[in-house]
Amino acid sequence: DAKTTQPPSMDCAEGRAANLPCNHSTISGNEYVYWYRQIHSQGPQYIIHGLKNNETNEMASLIITEDRKSSTLILPHATLRDTAVYYCIVRVVMNYGGSQGNLIFGKGTKLSVKP
């Protein structure tokens, strides 16, 4: 799986949009971009994933550049409860019935939402 690069930390004011960047310049055509977050002392929580089109759900938006070498996770109105470590992961599509699917976590971005 391709490697990702994220800034180690970011601050965001409560109520403002949090834009978390991720570089994945070696991504291949069959790799998805996934975002997870981990609030302190909890298991990771799935946020969103995409292949090449921008995606939006109730939690966030994912913007993937046209060349797919980078992406941005957007939390439109950050709250204090969004303070967490955010992980950007690229992964191949799992084969049917295979045991692939484990996620390889980097160091992520520690997002601190401040009042």
Report the residue from 13, 17, 80, 104 that binds other proteins according to the rule CB under 8 A.
104
Distance between CA 88 and CA 56 in Å, rounded?
A: 16
Ramachandran assignment for 101, one of left (phi > 0), alpha (psi -120 to 50 degrees), beta (any other) = left
- Output the smallest distance, CB 24 to other proteins, in A: 16
The owner of tokens 């800034």 is 7
- When binding is defined by CB under 8 A, the residue of 13, 17, 80, 94 that contacts other proteins is 94
Choices 17-25, 62-70, 71-79, 105-113 (CB under 8 A): range interacting with other proteins: 105-113
52 in contact with other proteins (CB under 8 A): no
Residue 65 contacts residue 71 (beta carbons within 8 Å): yes
Beta-strand ranges (E) seen in 1-115 are: 9-13, 18-23, 31-38, 45-50, 55-56, 61-64, 70-75, 84-92, 109-114
Contacts with other proteins, 12-51, as mask; x by CB under 8 A: --------------------x-x-x-x--xxxxxx--x--
Binding residues vs other proteins (CB under 8 A):
32, 34, 36, 38, 41-46, 49, 87, 91, 93-97, 99, 101-108
